[in-house]
Amino acid sequence: MYQIEQEQISDWWDVEALFDLSFAPGREALSSYRLREGVDSVDALCLVARDVDGVLGGAIRFWPIRIGENNDDALLLGPIAVHPTRQGEGLGGKLMRISLDKAQKLGWQRVVLVGDEPYYARYGFRKADFLQYPPPTNPDRLLYLGLGDRAFSGVSGLIKPAKDVAISS
């Protein structure tokens, strides 16, 4: 049993340690981190899952981004991680479903991530052939999800940092 709550400042070290454990060394060198530099996360969507003893089992974060020449607002999902000793319990899926539902309720329409399509397709993500991600990123791993009808209609182009996005919380 896990308690899923909004990430707090006091969770930062635990979450960062989980991400360090879950991802390859040098994760901050990835292009996703260039989109996050100088941009505040969407705190209302950054969640942690702790067990009954308070031990961190998983975490998910979201960041605002802009897409194309029209600077359409969207969310960048990630990172998301589940502690290796907790994998296979459905915790990652639970974090995904809760956070995406909350994003939709807050009025967000579009979500983008870099990940494995076979895994994320179960949550509705598809390849984003109409979007360009800053290199170096394999374009086959760029995925999108619309949270509303026709959310990506007319939306295309380069994904950019959103240093001036008003964040709903």
**Residue 103 near residue 45, CB atoms below 8 Å:** yes
**For residues 132 and 138, what is the distance between their CA atoms, to the nearest angstrom?**
10
Q: Establish if 116 belongs to a structural domain.
A: yes
What local confidence, expressed as pLDDT, does residue 54 receive?
A: 95
Specify whether the CB–CB gap between 32 and 41 falls below 8 A: no
Give the pLDDT score at 164: 59
Residue 61 falls inside a structural domain: yes
Identify whether 66 is part of a domain: yes
pLDDT at 165: 53
Range of the domain at 68: 2-161
CA 64 to chain centre: 9
3-state SS assignment for residue 163: coil
CATH code of the domain covering residue 105: 3.40.630.30
Look at residue 26 in the predicted model and tell me its pLDDT.
67
Tell whether 130 is covered by a domain: yes
Into how many domains does the chain fold? 1
The span from the CA of 33 to the CA of 42, in Å, is 15
Residues whose CB is less than 8 angstroms from the CB of residue 169 and which lie 6 or more positions away in sequence, other chains included: 42, 43, 44, 106
167 located within any domain: no
Specify the DSSP element, H or E, that contains 155.
Answer: none
CB of 65 within 8 A of CB of 76?
yes
pLDDT score of 72 = 96
Q: What is the pLDDT along the chain (169 residues), one digit of tens a residue?
A: 899 999 999 999 999 999 988 887 666 656 676 788 889 999 999 999 999 999 999 999 999 999 999 999 999 999 999 999 999 999 999 999 999 999 999 999 999 999 999 999 999 999 999 999 988 888 999 999 999 999 999 999 999 999 855 555 4
The one-letter amino acid code at 12 reads W
